Every structure is written in C-alpha cells, then in structure tokens.
Amino acid sequence: MSDKYDVIVIGSGPAGYVAAIRAAQLGLKTACIEKWKDKKGAGVNGGTCLNVGCIPSKALLDSSHKYHAAKDDYQAHGIGTGEVTIDVPAMIARKEKIVKQMSGGIAGLFKSNKVTSLYGSGKLLAGRQVELTDNDGNVSILDADNVILASGSVPVDIPVAPVDGDVIIDSTGALELTEVPERLGVIGAGVIGLELGSVWGRLGSKVVCLEALDSFLANMDQQIAKETRKILTKQGLDIRTSCRVTGSEVKGKEVEVTFTDADGNEQKETFDKLIVCVGRRPYTEGLLAGDSGVNLDERGFIYVNDLCSTSAPGVWAIGDVVRGPMLAHKGSEEGVMVAERIAGQKPLVNYDIIPSVIYTHPEVAAVGRTEEQIKADGEEYNVGLFPFVAIGRAVAADQTEGMVKMIADAKTDRVLGCHIVGPNAADLVQQVALAMEFGTTAEDIGMTVFSHPTFSEAVKEAALAVNGHAIHMPNRKRRK
C-alpha cells in the first residue's frame, strides 16, 4: 500500500519548505521530505541555508562585527569598554541556538499549514512515485500527482586541497571553529569566501584570500567591485587575484599551500586553517532513479524550462539544483510559482530583477544589470553615482564608506540596474528592486520624497545624479 499526495517536495531548504507551505495553503495535500540531521541524529528542516549557510553565517558576521565595533569603534563615540575579549565557543553556541530556533520555526509552520513532514532520503521513481528511506532505514513508496525537487547544493571539492575537516575545511567547517586561527587562508574570494574571511578577520585572524580569476568579484559591476576591494583591503583582508592553487600539504596543525601568482611564479603560504570556498554544485546524489524521466544538463543541474518544469510530466525542480543564481530568495520565489501553477494559477518569476547581497561590512548589493553587461549589449545609458560620505545619516553613524551607483536607459530613463557598497546596502537595493518591478525611471525615484536623515537618501541622490540633478554633490558633466 502506498501513501498518495497531491504534492511531494524533496528538500526543505528555502525553496522546498516555501513550496510545501504555499502548496498546502492552496488546499493541496502536501508532504516534504528532508534528510538533514542535527548533531543528535534527529531530522531537522531548513536545508543548507538554515543549518550551515545563510542563517548561521549571518549570526557569526553580526557577532564579529559587534566585537570589532566595541574594540575599535566605540571610543570615537565617547564610549569606554575597557579590554574587549571574544569567547568563541559562546559565539558558536549562540549561532547554534539561532539555528535551532529557526528550524523549529519551520516545523511549526508545517504543522499550522498541515504539511506532512517526513525525515529521510527521497528518490524520484518513474510515474511520480517517491521512494522514502527514513532515518531508521525503513523504505516506503509514496505516490504523488506532482513532485517538486528541491535538493539544493553542496560545496565544490578541489583535488589540490582535499577537505580533512580539521586543518583544511569547507564553509560548513568554518562555522564550527572554536578558536580564532592566527593565519587563515581562503581559497576563493567570492561571496562565501569574503563573508567567512570577514568573520575571522574581524576576530583577529590574518586572512589571505587566493582567487584564481583575474578580476575581483567578476560578476559584479566592476566599479563597485573595485571600491569593495579597496574597503576590504583597508580592513585587513589580503585579497590576491590571479592566484591559482596547485597543491597543499598538511604538516601537523598547519597547512602549506602552493600557488602560482599573476606573473606565473610559484609561491607558498603557511596557514593554521584553510577554508575551501570555490563555489557550490547541485546536489543530486541518490535523488533520481534511472527511469525517472528527469534529465540533467551538462553542468549537472536538473534541466527545467522557464516555469521550473522538468522533462518528466508532473515533476518540477527549484532552487540551487536548477539554473540561475544560487540564492535562497530566488529558490523561494520559484517554490511559490510552482505551487501556484500546480493549483492552476499563472504566476511568473521575474529573473531580471533578483537582488544579490554580500554580507560583509559594509554590505555589497545589486539588482539588475551591471554597466559592463549594458555596454556589451550595445545600449546607451546614463550613470548616477553618489557617495555615502555626503549623506548626513552616514556621517552621524560614522559609516561613510561606499557609494550608490544607478544606471538608466539614456532614451527612456528606465532604471536598468543599481549597485551599492555601503551601510545597509541589502535593504537599500530592495527599494530599487521594488521600483524596477513597476518599471521605474530614475526621475521617478528622484521625485520621490525620502525621509531625512536616512541612508536611503543616497539612493535618491544617485537617481538624481543619473540626469545631472544631484543636490548634495557637484554633478558630473554629461557625456556628449
């Protein structure tokens, strides 16, 4: 005998659990399968993002920033703290408490929405059947009218620096360190590498980031990337581009890393810990039976169309396991879209307006296209730049580093992209994302009344600067 559901979701990360909740809200009998276990072996929801990704990393980022501020910044405000110390185990314990709270929150949401939560591994069989192997090893077969695959992603391993979980660690291991390493190496200067490097750098580590690419943050607007690198270098991160790691050797409690520099010369560095952050890959191991009808593309992602439908009827895939940026909010919106399409509605995800954030301090955020992309497309455009140093709220808060960059079509004034490095960048860029969803022009934003004094005034001023109308700085001469 098999259990029958309208929808079975495999994976309870930000894509999967949101899809399950929305499906249940729409009156569909829904089950969600999750294989993640806590340290005691009990099943927990949330996937990578909640357990070893977005949430715990932000907990540590905030803790490290508070430590750094108390140690180095409060004196300027007339606040004396005496000797400031960091209790790393206590910081890690706080992080784990937050993770437990959030995973429990998903369990509560499942219960209130009548989602059946199943713990174990799910495998898609032919005919929309799912084989469930629970955490005790028991196997059962579940039937569904629709199956949503949301199995997420895992860190990429590289042969030249095999993770041993002790001296050479991945992003998960970097969230579990119980003491501050004196010398920390990070392979990869992307989003994850910079965030983790920032955590331990603020706590006292000497951090070296080795990036194989010639460009820093190659996918970002390069003017903002250049400014970001300048700020992070000033904070003490040693960011080296064009450095390709060729080998590593663990020697006791340290590791010697060999790499070639930008000139092709072989170099060596010794670290107490080495974090491997060279990207993530879709996780499909054990997910698909040979006759499931679901195809993978050449990069190992599940092949889907624009509506996240796979090559098998009634089978959908969302989140990190499909094309597009590996962002929690992108996966969540795909989950909502798929659940509503199963219920007969016609929603779409606007992939052109998906914000992205790097949670360093200050934050780096973007929405829309970069100047490089617009230029490559051959479109005429105008740029508005505005620095936070000219914003009263930023000066009062002693957070003046960075800028807002807005790009608009030269003929229609339609905003094509916004890129920010600076205080509260993640929240500021969301204002522009919302406006872009409604087809805003730079003039529209410039005519909107912004509260004073706020950080968000930099967004208004950048919009004004697009057409040479900024108030609180000299305007750039317009291109002829």
Predicted confidence (pLDDT) per residue in 140-153, tens digit: 999 999 999 999 99
Measure the CA–CA gap between 203 and 178, rounded to whole angstroms.
Answer: 12
Residue with tokens 């779409």: 348
- The answer, yes or no, to whether residue 313 has pLDDT greater than 70, is yes
Portion of the chain with pLDDT greater than 90, in percent: 98
Portion of the chain with pLDDT greater than 70, in percent: 99
Measure the CA–CA gap between 255 and 144, rounded to whole angstroms.
Answer: 50
Q: pLDDT tens digits for 429-455? A: 999 999 999 999 999 999 999 999 999
Enter the pTM of the model.
Answer: 0.96
Q: pLDDT tens digits for 181-228? A: 999 999 999 999 999 999 999 999 999 999 999 999 999 999 999 999
Structure tokens at 356: 């992205």
Q: pLDDT tens digits for 66-116? A: 999 999 999 999 999 999 999 999 999 999 999 999 999 999 999 999 999
Q: pLDDT tens digits for 231-272? A: 999 999 999 999 999 999 999 999 999 999 999 999 999 999
Containing H/E element for 109? helix 88-112
- Res. 165 pLDDT band, cuts 50 70 90: very high
Measure the CA–CA gap between 80 and 70, rounded to whole angstroms.
Answer: 9
Helix and strand tally (H, E) in the chain? 13, 21
The pLDDT of residue 3 is 77
- Res. 477 pLDDT band, cuts 50 70 90: confident
Measure the CA–CA gap between 360 and 128, rounded to whole angstroms.
Answer: 43
- Whether the link from the prior residue into 56 is cis, omega within 30° of 0, is no
The pLDDT of residue 1 is 39
CB 277 within 8 A of CB 288: no
The catalytic residue among 65, 452, 469, 472 is 452
Angle CA 363–226–457, to nearest 5: 45
- Res. 480 pLDDT band, cuts 50 70 90: low
Measure the CA–CA gap between 432 and 217, rounded to whole angstroms.
Answer: 21
- The answer, yes or no, to whether residue 2 has pLDDT greater than 80, is no
> Is position 452 annotated as part of the catalytic site?
yes
